[in-house]
Structure 1
Amino acid sequence: MQTLSLKKLFYFEKTPLNVVMAVTTVALLAAFMAGAVAYILHGHHVYNVTRQHPWGLLIAMYVFFVVSSTGLCIISSIGHVFGIPEFQQIGKRAIAGAIITISSGFAVIGLEIGHPMTMLIYNVLTPGLTSAIWWMGTLYGLYLTFICLEFFFLAIKVNHTFSKIFGICGLLVGLAAHSNLGAVFGFLVSRPSANGVFYPVYFILSAMITGCYLIFLMYGFRYKMNFPEKISVMLVKLSKILGMLLAVLIFFEAWKILTALYGDMPERAATIFHAIKHPNFWFGELILGMLIPFTVILVSNAKAIKATVYASITGMVGIFFMRYDLVHDTLLYPMTTLKRAEYQVAPTFVEYFPSAAEFAIGFGGIGLALFLYYVADKVFNLDETTQH
């Protein structure tokens, strides 16, 4: 039987890194609360979203968090569900991270939806079985339930039979939910730059990469870059998996761009060409998100664990740009096909920049996730034990 410990919750080791993390977390939490208050007082008027660009930074941050959660769940299943010995030690920490990140995502999206409680009620009373967004909310609710039960039987009332059952359920429902989230974009027939079969598969792939980045960051912080032998062996193998996934992602991105540009398809080609010229893509997504981590892994033959931890920081920044560009680029091209008569000249791209409230809530969600992770790490024993 694992027991909870509240004694360590108020113990704080004053190392430079811990102090920086604490100050950053408090600042982000304060920003989150300030943004939430502004939204409660003034509603959507504090956001820079418009009728032409209805999805903004908060949608992107929601996707960022649920991608992180699904990725951690998938990576944890390598050991916990599929029984690979080296990866069994990450089960509790990864699932705790999955619960925290999706909860933070729900907190952010709750401040974007006008009436979140009404949504929950009518989600049950009037199910929209043909709506990808309805399925997204339903499946993610089930996913959160399953991973919470999995964590309960992993870290509190230890029962590996039940934890594996709920782990399998969480993995399957999480994959369904996340591919369905990709379908929310892929089903947008009126947005040719997003419409298609690419996104459901792309979301699963990018989730696995995000999960790998977060595992490196969690263990880099946990062991202050001084890894025990058992952890080092696991991280080297995870690095090889990450390198393979990044290679596949690079090819995915290349073919996504080529198929969009080939034939100069109206709207689709113009949107993609406009997007790839922006620094968000070539510097944020490509260099930070893919090339730097991939180069570190390739040059070191996946053995430079410390360098991979640092590269995972740039990788997570790149993942943010991927999520932001996913939302923004989808809405770049104005929907002129419905109201062409309104335009006297060729329509321009719909530009958008987040408001202060959107920045506060969006990045404040990261502070919420950091705070919850700190609490979980103090209250629960997230490391491998002899019982595991």
Structure 2
Amino acid sequence: MSNNKPRLILFNNLMFALTFIGAVVLVPLYGVLVGYQTEAYWIALLFWAWSGLSITAGYHRLWSHRTWQAHSSVQWILAIGGAMAMQNSILHWCADHRRHHKHVDDNDQDPYSAGRGFWFSHIGWMLRSYHPITPSTYNNVRDLQKNPVVMNQHNHYGKWVLATNVALPVLLGWLSGDILGMWLLASVLRLVLVHHGTFFINSLAHIWGRQPYNDQHSARDNGVLALLTFGEGYHNFHHSFESDYRNGIRWWDYDPTKWLIRALERFGLASGLRQVPRERIEAARLAMELKSSQRLLAEHATAQEWLEKLEAEYVALMARIQDYYGEQQRLLRLHKDELDRATRQRLNELRLALRQQRRLWLSLRAKAHSQVA
């Protein structure tokens, strides 16, 4: 090993290697030779959802980005599930993640920069001590250091890991009559699935997918990854609007983490769900659509006329967006007795005008692109 390379983190290397070997060798071998009880499958599924959602709803959207607020009972459930996921304590995970967002794609300061390649961003960054803990490591999570749930989990992280990944599966296995089978499914296989599901967001979600909102960073939207990561696959949206509690903003977007947070709000266990104003999201998408058209048409000297038309239509559509959402925000500030028929009609007219302007924009883009196809 070169003396210039950071030291290997022995625990991480052993954990990732042994759990992966266990998942691909021991889990199927035990299934063939012995077989698993139905209870083991259900417990493994429950633990997979619990630990996975504890990372996405808790570590990520609650504590890293503060996009919602949770009742203390919910925080405890997510903190324990986060220890079960074995991705370090809340405090350390959030410190790394906030640094990632602040310095995204910076190979020196982004802890898991996609610019250093798939392997590094997926798992390599955890195998060596690239960012050793120093007195300044937790400077960006001082708010979390005031949270008793976060600090309890941080100070007793090892105990929580053993309790959730060893003691609890063994106890449930003993009760069901198959300790080893329960542990292999509910701990080993489940842990590998949750690990690599999360790691795919750091790696694949920065190289595979679309960039409908911003191309100033490498993050991409990918519906396939959303299926594997409890809705975290809409990563271009997330890096563009990190203060939003949602990742999938359309009703058909698969985002179980968003659905869980909404459900908790209905039961009074969550509050302060933050959403980026719709006009900002639409403006970002529109700007990227114009940018992609400009790139395409700029390569064809004969398309200058189409480019000018598109830019003019972009200005018109942006004006419609500002008119409609500006009026919508104004109406939200009015009392119910002030919302007369004429006021509602005005908003409806603006909505229809915006819809028509969108159609014109899409039609014009399609025609312009067909000219250079």
Same-fold call, TM cutoff 0.5: no
Larger proportion of helix: 1
* TM-score, structure 2 normalization: 0.26
Larger RCO: 1 or 2 (CA < 8 Å, sep 6+): 1
Larger Rg belongs to? 2
